[in-house]
C-alpha cells in the first residue's frame, strides 16, 4: 500500500499514472487479486480484510484523482506556454500584398510630374455644376456635356466626370504661377470592355502671368512624359475639341505592341490614343477671375495607361478584385 501511495506521489506524467492505476485497479491488479482472496476467508478475518481493502480503495482512488487533476493542469499550462504565438513577432514567410496596377501606374505618373516641379492637388468627388461644367466653358445645354454621361444627385450635385474641376478649384484658391496635377477617381455612366462607371484620371494645369505659355511648352512636356512612361515611342498630336482648351489636341503614341506596324490593339492604325490636352481657353480664366494669363492643361485616364503597360485586355478586370489577376503584379 505504502509503495502505491509513494509511486503515485512520485509520478510525473499522465501515461505513467495510468500504468500505476492499472497495477492497482486493473483486472489483474492489486485489488482484483485481494478481493479474490477474500472469497477464501471467513468470519472476522474476512471482515477485517474487506474493511481495510475498502478504505484503501477509497484513499487510493482519491489520491489518483487528485494526482490526475494536477498532472492535467500542468500539461495544459506547459502546452499553452509551448504553443503560444507572439502575434507581434515578424514572420518572414508571411506573404505581403502589392499596389493595385492602377495605383502603381498613377504613382509612376505622379513621380514624373513631381520631378518636374508640379504640385499635387486634390478635390471632392461630389461636385457642383459650376466646378465640373460651367467654369470649364461648358454652359448648361452645351452639346459637349454629352461627351460625359453624368451621375446626378437629387439636389443637383453630381459625381465629378473628370478631374478638371480641380483646375478650377486650384485657380480659385491660388494665384499664378500655377503648376499642378490632380490624380483621382472620376465617374461616368458607362460600362463595357473599355469603360467602367468609376475610373481614374490625372489632370495637369500650368498657368503663368502674361502670354509666356504656349502650345510648344505643352508639346515638350507631354512628349518627354510619354517617353518616360512608355520608353522608345513616337508621339503625335491630333487636332481635337475640348470646351476648356483652344486649340485642343488628342495625343497618340506609336503602338507599343507592334511598334507602329498595325495590330489588333491599335486597330491596325499603328497609333494608340493616350490623352487629351490644349491651351487653356480664355473663358475658363474669365470664370475664375484671372486676366492677362496663359496656360496649358491636359488630362489622361490612368486605367488606359495601366492596361497598355501591363497588356490587360478588359478594363473591368481591374475592378473585380480577382486575386489571380492581382497576384501577377507582386
Ligand atoms: N477632361 C477631359 C476628359 O475627361 C480630359 C482633358 C482633356 C483634360 C483636355 C484637360 C484637357 O485638362 O486640357 O475627357
Question: What integer pLDDT is reported at residue 92 of this predicted model?
Answer: 74
Whole-structure pTM value: 0.72
Give the cell for residue 256.
Answer: 507599343
Q: Which atom of ligand 1 is nearest to the CA of 147?
A: 14
Q: pLDDT-derived band of residue 204, with 50, 70 and 90 as boundaries?
A: very high
Q: Are 121 and 170 in contact (CB under 8 A)?
A: yes
Give the cell for residue 85.
Answer: 504565438
Q: pLDDT-derived band of residue 87, with 50, 70 and 90 as boundaries?
A: confident
Question: What integer pLDDT is reported at residue 314 of this predicted model?
Answer: 80
Q: Which residues line ligand 1 (CB under 6 A)?
A: 162, 164, 203, 242, 244-245, 276-278, 297-299
Burial class (CB in 10 A: 0-12, 13-18, 19+), 26: middle
Q: Are 187 and 196 in contact (CB under 8 A)?
A: no
**Per-residue pLDDT tens for 128-184?**
999 999 999 999 888 777 777 899 999 989 999 999 999 999 999 999 999 999 999
Say how many Å lie between the CA of residue 292 and the centre of ligand 1. 23
Of all protein residues, whose CA lies closest to atom 2 belonging to ligand 1?
A: 299
**Could you tell me the CA-to-CA distances from 187 to 27, 146, 181, 197, 240 in Å, in that order?**
82, 14, 18, 5, 22
Question: What integer pLDDT is reported at residue 45 of this predicted model?
Answer: 87
Burial class (CB in 10 A: 0-12, 13-18, 19+), 87: exposed
What rounded mean pLDDT belongs to the chain?
Answer: 92
Task: List 278's β-bridge partners, or say none.
Answer: 248, 297
Q: Which position has the grid cell 489622361?
A: 300
First-to-last alpha carbon distance for the chain, in angstroms, is: 71
With the CA atoms of 255, 256, 261 and 262 taken in that order, what torsion angle do they form, in degrees rounded to the nearest 10? -50
Q: Which position has the grid cell 496649358?
A: 296
One DSSP character per residue, 12-51 reads: -SHHHHHHHHHHHHSTTSHHHHHHHHHHT--HHHHHHHHH
Q: How many whole angstroms separate alpha carbon 128 and alpha carbon 131? A: 6
Q: Which atom of ligand 1 is nearest to the CA of 162?
A: 4
- Site to probe by mutation for ligand 1, drawn from 121, 221, 298 as the one with most ligand atoms within 8 Å of Cβ, is 298
What percent of the chain clears pLDDT 70, i.e. is strictly above it? Answer: 99
Q: Are 145 and 166 in contact (CB under 8 A)?
A: no
How do strand 119-120 and strand 178-187 relate by DSSP bridges?
parallel
- Site to probe by mutation for ligand 1, drawn from 146, 241, 275, 276 as the one with most ligand atoms within 8 Å of Cβ, is 276
Amino acid at each position: 500500500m505504502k509503495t502505491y501511495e509513494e509511486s503515485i506521489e512520485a509520478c510525473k506524467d499522465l501515461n505513467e499514472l495510468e500504468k500505476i492505476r492499472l497495477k492497482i485497479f486493473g483486472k489483474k491488479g492489486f485489488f482484483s487479486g485481494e478481493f479474490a482472496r477474500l472469497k477464501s476467508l471467513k468470519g472476522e478475518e474476512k471482515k477485517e480484510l474487506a474493511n481495510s481493502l475498502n478504505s484503501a480503495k477509497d484513499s487510493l482512488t482519491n489520491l489518483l484523482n487528485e494526482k490526475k487533476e494536477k498532472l492535467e493542469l500542468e500539461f495544459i499550462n506547459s502546452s499553452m506556454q509551448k504553443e503560444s504565438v507572439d502575434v507581434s513577432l515578424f514572420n518572414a514567410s508571411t506573404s505581403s500584398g502589392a499596389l493595385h496596377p492602377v495605383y502603381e501606374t498613377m504613382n509612376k505618373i505622379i513621380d514624373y510630374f513631381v520631378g518636374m516641379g508640379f504640385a499635387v492637388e486634390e478635390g471632392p468627388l461630389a461636385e457642383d455644376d459650376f466646378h465640373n461644367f460651367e467654369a470649364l466653358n461648358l454652359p448648361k445645354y452645351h452639346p459637349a456635356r454629352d461627351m460625359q454621361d453624368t451621375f446626378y444627385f437629387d439636389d443637383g450635385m453630381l459625381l465629378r466626370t473628370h478631374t478638371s474641376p480641380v483646375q478650377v478649384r486650384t485657380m480659385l484658391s491660388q494665384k499664378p504661377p500655377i503648376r499642378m496635377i490632380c490624380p483621382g477617381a472620376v465617374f461616368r455612366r458607362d460600362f463595357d470592355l473599355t469603360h467602367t462607371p468609376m475610373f481614374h484620371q490625372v489632370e495637369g494645369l500650368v498657368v503663368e502671368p502674361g502670354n509666356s505659355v504656349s502650345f510648344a511648352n505643352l508639346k515638350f512636356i507631354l512628349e518627354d512624359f510619354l517617353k518616360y512612361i512608355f520608353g522608345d515611342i513616337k508621339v503625335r498630336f491630333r487636332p481635337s475639341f475640348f470646351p476648356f482648351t483652344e486649340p485642343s489636341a488628342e495625343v497618340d503614341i506609336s503602338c507599343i505592341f507592334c511598334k507602329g506596324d498595325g495590330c489588333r490593339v491599335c486597330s491596325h492604325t499603328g497609333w494608340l490614343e493616350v490623352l487629351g490636352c490644349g491651351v487653356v481657353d480664355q473663358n475658363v480664366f474669365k470664370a475664375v477671375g484671372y486676366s492677362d494669363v496663359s496656360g496649358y492643361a491636359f488630362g489622361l485616364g490612368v486605367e488606359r495607361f495601366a492596361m497598355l503597360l501591363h497588356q490587360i485586355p478588359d478594363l473591368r478586370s481591374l475592378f473585380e478584385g480577382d486575386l489571380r489577376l492581382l497576384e501577377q503584379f507582386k
